[in-house]
Amino acid sequence: TMVDPNGNESSATYFILIGLPGLEKAQFWLAFPLCSLYLIAVLGNLTVIYIVRTEHSLHEPMYIFLCMLSGLDILISTSSMPRMMAIFWFNSTTIQFDACLLQMFAIHSLSGMESTVLLAMAFDRYVAICHPLHHATVLTLPRVTKIGMAAVVRGTALMAPLPIFIKRLPFCRSNILSHSYCLHQDVMKLACADIRVNIIYGLIVIISAIGLDSLLISLSYLLILKTVLGLTREAQAKAFGTCVSHVCAVFIFYVPFIGLSMVHRFGKQHDSLLPIIMANTYLLVPPVLNPIVYGVKTKEIRQHIFRLFHVTTHTSDP
């Protein structure tokens, strides 16, 4: 519900997305590099999916999880970037309440799914390095598929209460959101009712998903490090080489996410550009960088990319 000028509550019908406050005149031109990055993200991740899908030698758990990560990256960037382009290019700042709710649900649930896939990838590296003889029996293709389905169910289930907690709120003060798309932290601040339930719900989701996943990923790499230190130099280099791409993907995803959450919960300036820039970075940079990181650091992916684009290479690095 919204509160009209006379103090009466009425149904919320729309919100206003302001894009980049203070940079309204520059938004039109800033949209071009942002759109280019979005296209790079989509094409890069589609290339990874195509290569893994068509090359039978890559039908292994690590690459299947990478396909899942690429698919989620496309969906996450697509859930926000086209809307952002409409704001910057056409000044289309109005978003209907239900559309805002849907976008909010999509962004948060897809982020939860991506966190789960990153955890699954860490588990795959743990089994492959610490228990290599059991890797083929522990991570079978049917089991990998079930893990992917579990990621979808978990991300959806964690966000299932979100529409209920938002629809129960009466909105007043303003209907202007400080981001280029809808986020739970941003929307609930416009409510003129007690939002403690929403705050507690948000903290529970972050702790049970992002917090738990990052803790388990850290634990898996501590165990991997303990195992790797007991190997020969050559074996150490090979083991670390298989983990570098995933470690980069973990930092690329979690650092902006945790930083944005901290700024929203403890930041004092509501109209600051910092959380807005961080939010745009969080949704766009991982989809752009992940296929680049895996393309550069993973020999098998790199070779198939060269082959796909008919590029010859004479490198002999592992």
Say which residue the tokens 């009425």 belong to.
10
pTM of this structure: 0.89
pLDDT higher than threshold 90 for residue 57: no
Contact (Cβ atoms closer than 8 angstroms) between residue 190 and residue 177 = yes
In a domain, 318, yes or no: no
In a domain, 6, yes or no: no
3-class DSSP state of 1:
coil
- Torsion over CA: 175, 181, 183, 186 (sign): negative
The residue-averaged pLDDT of 43-48 equals 94
Put residue 272 in one of left, alpha, beta given phi > 0 → left and psi -120 to 50 → alpha: beta
C-alpha to C-alpha distances, 4 to 224, 251, 289, nearest whole angstrom: 58, 44, 45
Contact (Cβ atoms closer than 8 angstroms) between residue 4 and residue 174 = no
Range list of H helices, the chain: 27-54, 61-78, 81-90, 97-130, 135-138, 141-159, 162-167, 184-188, 196-205, 212-228, 233-266, 273-297, 299-308
pLDDT higher than threshold 60 for residue 318: no
Under the banding of pLDDT at 50, 70 and 90, the label for residue 230 is: confident
By C-alpha distance, which of 274, 207, 225 is closest to 122? 225
Q: Which domain holds residue 257?
A: 14-308
Which range has the worst mean pLDDT, 11-15, 17-21, 61-65, 109-113? 11-15
In a domain, 144, yes or no: yes
- The residue ranking higher by pLDDT, 241 or 4, is 241
- The residue ranking higher by pLDDT, 31 or 75, is 75
Strands ordered across the beta sheet of 94-96: 94-96, 14-17, 176-177
By C-alpha distance, which of 309, 305, 301 is closest to 62? 301
The residue-averaged pLDDT of 105-126 equals 95
Distance CA 193, CA 182 (A): 19
Note the pLDDT of residue 255: 85
Q: What is the pLDDT of residues 189-219, one digit of tens each?
A: 888 888 899 999 988 998 999 899 999 999 9
* List of residues 6+ apart from 302 with CB closer than 8 A: 295, 296
In a domain, 120, yes or no: yes
CATH of the domain at 183: 1.20.1070.10
- The residue ranking higher by pLDDT, 274 or 117, is 117
pLDDT higher than threshold 90 for residue 104: yes
In a domain, 122, yes or no: yes
pLDDT higher than threshold 90 for residue 10: no
In a domain, 71, yes or no: yes
In a domain, 2, yes or no: no
C-alpha to C-alpha distances, 225 to 14, 159, 219, 249, nearest whole angstrom: 51, 34, 10, 18
In a domain, 8, yes or no: no
How many folded domains does the chain comprise? 1
Note the pLDDT of residue 265: 66
pLDDT higher than threshold 50 for residue 316: no
C-alpha to C-alpha distances, 76 to 34, 191, 193, nearest whole angstrom: 15, 26, 30
